[in-house]
Structure 1
Amino acid sequence: MPDFHAFLTRLPHELAFSQEAPATIVDRYHTRDIEYRTDGITLDRQRLIDHVGPARKNAHELDIQLHEMLLDDDRAAARYTMTVRTRQDKTLQIEVYLFAQLAPDGRVRRVDSITRTVKP
């Protein structure tokens, strides 16, 4: 059973650096009817899978700094910073404020998040 901490910290690494099929990784952490809303843009399962290609092509290093995480039954929230260094040696630092609904098996069913890029 996936857990929310792994969703926040392990999933990004698996998506960016694993040789495993993107659909397998997405399905391990999300329900098939996932709605992933970030900054007003909604991604469904297929759009999440499609996002993996560019991430794998561009990401060189990835660090997740988890500041806060709260769990309450099927609801979860987190505040964290993701730092990505690209293959072009550009560094992106993104603050994330994320709210999620979890399925009974622990996978994420819905996400609403707001991000903000900050200077590293």
Structure 2
Amino acid sequence: MTRTDIKAAITDLIFNSGLTVQEAADRHFTPQYRQRTDGQWADRAGFVEHITHVRTMVAGGHIEVHDELYDGSTYADRHTVQITKKNGSTVTMEVYVFADLAPDGRFSRIEETTLMLQGSDADRNIGSARQLLNLNT
């Protein structure tokens, strides 16, 4: 497998209805995957649960990568995600990512910080698996 990147991973996870969340996770993330978003850790099961919930709210969107760096098994990027929710509202987040890649090219760990550029206060934690109950549909 070639190494993944954040644009491919997010596109498959959130915007590619041709894949299940589990298929997308298997494609881009190791079984031992862990993620820290804005200081909150989630294991892979929590991450998959969060993405499954996010998909129920999303009508469409896209990701734009502004900066991206690979250095061996280390990955970093800065990207913007714009989501249009099924209720017609939009959320735009700028995200800073530092990650480790497994030997097979999938993400094994991501640590990220998010910055809300557009959206309601209820959408502030859309990137965090620990904040499922705070999201509006």
TM-score strictly above 0.5: yes
**Is the CA contact (8 Å cut-off) linking 1:4 and 1:76 kept in structure 2?**
no
2:130 alignment partner in structure 1: none
**Is the CA contact (8 Å cut-off) linking 1:2 and 1:29 kept in structure 2?**
no
- TM-superposed CA distance for 1:53, in Å, is 2.3
2:11 alignment partner in structure 1: 13
Counting only pairs closer than 5 Å after superposition, residues 103-118 of structure 1 correspond to structure 2 as 103-118=102-117
Query: Could you list the per-position Cα deviations for residues 16-56 of structure 1 after superposition, in whole angstroms to 9, with x for gaps in the alignment?
Result: 24243322221211111111111011111111111132222
In 2, the alpha carbon distance for the partners of 1:24 and 1:13 equals 13
Structure 1: 5+ residue runs without aligned partners? none
In 2, the alpha carbon distance for the partners of 1:63 and 1:21 equals 18
1:78 alignment partner in structure 2: 77
SS at match of 1:3: coil
In 1, the alpha carbon distance for the partners of 2:72 and 2:12 equals 26
2:46 alignment partner in structure 1: 47
SS at match of 2:53: helix
Greater strand content:
1
Quote the RMSD (CA, aligned, Å): 1.5
In 2, the alpha carbon distance for the partners of 1:56 and 1:19 equals 12
In 2, the alpha carbon distance for the partners of 1:39 and 1:2 equals 28
In 1, the alpha carbon distance for the partners of 2:87 and 2:22 equals 27
Aligned pairs, how many?
A: 118
In 2, the alpha carbon distance for the partners of 1:25 and 1:4 equals 11
**Is the CA contact (8 Å cut-off) linking 2:97 and 2:113 kept in structure 1?**
yes
Structure 2: 5+ residue runs without aligned partners? 120-137
